[in-house]
A = this chain, B = another copy of it.
């Protein structure tokens, strides 16, 4: 099966306490699509400006990501600039320029409309819905979101999540969406809003997966160095979606295995800025860290 990834494609400037890098490939769809590509064929829908560098485009294609759905619009590519504190859990956005994203209306190419798995990576929920409108009976729809949309587009988000099989968000976002401080209860509350499955990401603390009367809790892969956490959540979602597309059926057991894959790909991604680590990542490296993870987390 194949996965359709829609989301933002951008150019990032990222500053940490130790390093600063400019003009990096970024955006939720970039991370998610490349992460998914380790497991299944990927079709990408997004928008860039006519300034988008060929090198970035080549990174997608080198990973087998189909970018016929990557629209080129007149104007500049979406740009984001952010800075991490020494405690990398704290990030501030220094600037955002929507640019071509301002008027973006996602168009799903005819060849993508039968994609089995749809990953609506983090963008405005109205755009995520617009993609769903064009799909022909996808088997499994996953949406990722963020605090911004919960704050400024709650109605759109609530409408969207009624239509998805799975919602992915982080723990503070789950609390924001539900008003509930207990993460387990928040997960159950979100299930009542529509999605049968919910994954609550807790960054360095791992994640909780909720299914119908089912729960699965895992720690993150323990890392001693995290040069740049940007895109970890997107890679988690992408790895998860890609693994689902690799399987014949998507049920709770599939999703348990899928969150492990998402966890592992995300753990590699944060070892370098932008998508540098995923660029060289191999299937056998994923497999070997998966085995190491099992040893570190199993009695």
Contacts and interface: CB of A to CB of B under 8 A. Distances in A.
Interface stretch (A1-9, A159-167, A181-189, A281-289): A181-189
A74 interface: no
A226 interface: yes
Nearest to A294: B299
A86 B223 CA distance: 31
A213 to B, nearest CB: 12
A181 B184 CA distance: 27
Interface string A210-229: 00000111111011111000
A256 B297 CA distance: 10
Nearest to A202: B205
A251 interface: no
A136 interface: no
Nearest to A208: B222
Nearest to A87: B181
B206 A299 contact: no
B205 A88 contact: no
Interface of A: 86-88, 181-185, 188, 202, 204-206, 208, 215-220, 222-226, 256-257, 260, 296-299
Name the 8 nearest CB pairs between A and B, nearest first: A205-B205, A217-B219, A184-B222, A184-B224, A185-B224, A87-B181, A217-B222, A219-B219
